[in-house]
Amino acid sequence: MLTRVLDRPEGVVAFASIDRRAGEPGLLAAIAPAPLRTYPAAALDAVAVPGPSDRVAEATGTGSVAEAAALLAAGELAGPGDEVRLRVAKTVGERCTAAVAELIPRTAQSRN
Protein backbone atom coordinates (compact mmCIF):
# COMPACT_ATOMS: atom_id res chain seq x y z
CA MET A 1 0.00 0.00 0.00
CA LEU A 2 2.82 2.43 0.81
CA THR A 3 4.42 2.15 -2.58
CA ARG A 4 1.02 2.75 -4.12
CA VAL A 5 0.47 6.08 -2.35
CA LEU A 6 4.03 7.35 -1.92
CA ASP A 7 6.86 8.01 -4.30
CA ARG A 8 9.36 7.73 -1.39
CA PRO A 9 8.07 5.36 1.30
CA GLU A 10 11.40 5.58 3.10
CA GLY A 11 10.51 9.16 4.05
CA VAL A 12 7.74 8.01 6.41
CA VAL A 13 8.54 8.93 10.01
CA ALA A 14 5.37 7.71 11.74
CA PHE A 15 2.12 5.87 11.20
CA ALA A 16 -1.16 6.75 12.85
CA SER A 17 -4.55 5.17 13.45
CA ILE A 18 -7.45 4.97 15.86
CA ASP A 19 -6.53 3.88 19.38
CA ARG A 20 -8.38 0.57 19.17
CA ARG A 21 -5.85 -0.59 16.53
CA ALA A 22 -2.86 0.05 18.81
CA GLY A 23 -2.15 -3.58 19.64
CA GLU A 24 -2.84 -5.25 16.30
CA PRO A 25 0.16 -7.50 15.61
CA GLY A 26 -0.29 -7.40 11.82
CA LEU A 27 -0.33 -3.61 11.76
CA LEU A 28 2.68 -3.30 14.05
CA ALA A 29 4.64 -5.82 11.98
CA ALA A 30 3.76 -4.06 8.72
CA ILE A 31 4.98 -0.65 9.86
CA ALA A 32 8.06 -1.68 11.88
CA PRO A 33 10.35 -0.03 12.77
CA ALA A 34 8.33 3.20 12.43
CA PRO A 35 6.30 4.21 15.48
CA LEU A 36 2.51 4.01 15.62
CA ARG A 37 0.64 7.01 17.02
CA THR A 38 -2.94 6.36 18.01
CA TYR A 39 -5.84 8.65 18.80
CA PRO A 40 -9.30 8.25 20.32
CA ALA A 41 -12.29 8.57 18.02
CA ALA A 42 -13.27 11.91 19.59
CA ALA A 43 -9.88 13.45 18.72
CA LEU A 44 -10.06 12.12 15.16
CA ASP A 45 -13.62 13.37 14.77
CA ALA A 46 -12.52 16.92 15.67
CA VAL A 47 -10.19 17.11 12.63
CA ALA A 48 -11.55 18.70 9.45
CA VAL A 49 -11.00 16.33 6.53
CA PRO A 50 -12.11 16.42 2.89
CA GLY A 51 -13.67 12.97 2.83
CA PRO A 52 -15.56 12.01 6.00
CA SER A 53 -17.57 8.81 5.74
CA ASP A 54 -20.89 7.96 7.38
CA ARG A 55 -19.99 4.26 7.14
CA VAL A 56 -16.70 4.82 8.97
CA ALA A 57 -18.47 6.97 11.57
CA GLU A 58 -20.95 4.18 12.28
CA ALA A 59 -18.16 1.64 12.71
CA THR A 60 -15.64 3.74 14.65
CA GLY A 61 -17.33 6.81 16.11
CA THR A 62 -15.48 9.18 13.77
CA GLY A 63 -16.05 10.10 10.14
CA SER A 64 -12.35 9.74 9.37
CA VAL A 65 -9.56 7.55 10.64
CA ALA A 66 -6.89 7.59 7.91
CA GLU A 67 -6.94 11.29 6.99
CA ALA A 68 -7.57 12.58 10.50
CA ALA A 69 -4.89 10.38 12.09
CA ALA A 70 -2.33 11.37 9.44
CA LEU A 71 -3.02 15.06 10.04
CA LEU A 72 -2.89 14.71 13.83
CA ALA A 73 0.40 12.81 13.76
CA ALA A 74 2.02 15.31 11.40
CA GLY A 75 0.75 18.13 13.60
CA GLU A 76 2.41 16.58 16.65
CA LEU A 77 5.71 16.39 14.77
CA ALA A 78 5.45 19.97 13.46
CA GLY A 79 7.44 22.79 14.92
CA PRO A 80 6.39 26.42 15.29
CA GLY A 81 5.47 27.84 11.90
CA ASP A 82 5.60 24.49 10.11
CA GLU A 83 2.75 23.68 7.73
CA VAL A 84 0.83 20.40 7.79
CA ARG A 85 -1.28 19.37 4.82
CA LEU A 86 -2.90 16.27 3.43
CA ARG A 87 -0.70 15.06 0.59
CA VAL A 88 -2.61 11.89 -0.34
CA ALA A 89 -6.31 11.62 0.49
CA LYS A 90 -7.61 8.35 1.85
CA THR A 91 -6.82 5.47 -0.45
CA VAL A 92 -8.69 2.23 0.10
CA GLY A 93 -6.68 -0.96 -0.25
CA GLU A 94 -7.51 -4.63 0.09
CA ARG A 95 -6.78 -4.78 3.82
CA CYS A 96 -6.39 -1.18 4.89
CA THR A 97 -7.08 2.45 4.13
CA ALA A 98 -4.23 4.94 4.08
CA ALA A 99 -3.76 8.68 3.83
CA VAL A 100 -0.57 10.71 3.87
CA ALA A 101 0.00 14.02 5.61
CA GLU A 102 3.03 16.09 4.76
CA LEU A 103 4.98 18.27 7.14
CA ILE A 104 6.55 21.29 5.47
CA PRO A 105 9.18 22.97 7.64
CA ARG A 106 8.92 26.74 7.90
CA THR A 107 12.34 27.12 6.22
CA ALA A 108 11.11 25.25 3.13
CA GLN A 109 8.01 27.46 2.97
CA SER A 110 10.11 30.61 2.77
CA ARG A 111 11.92 29.28 -0.31
CA ASN A 112 8.68 28.85 -2.27
Rounded-to-integer distance, Cα 1 and Cα 92, Å: 9
Residues 43-89: tens digit of each pLDDT: 999 999 998 999 999 999 999 999 999 999 999 999 999 999 999 89
Give the Cα-Cα-Cα angle 66, 86, 40 (nearest 5 degrees).
35
Rounded-to-integer distance, Cα 35 and Cα 15, Å: 6
CATH 3.30.420.180 fits 2-111, yes or no: yes
Read off the pTM. Answer: 0.86
Residues 9-19: tens digit of each pLDDT: 566 788 999 99
Three-class DSSP category at 65 = coil
The answer to whether the beta carbons of residues 64 and 52 sit under 8 Å apart is yes
Give the Cα-Cα-Cα angle 24, 30, 33 (nearest 5 degrees).
100
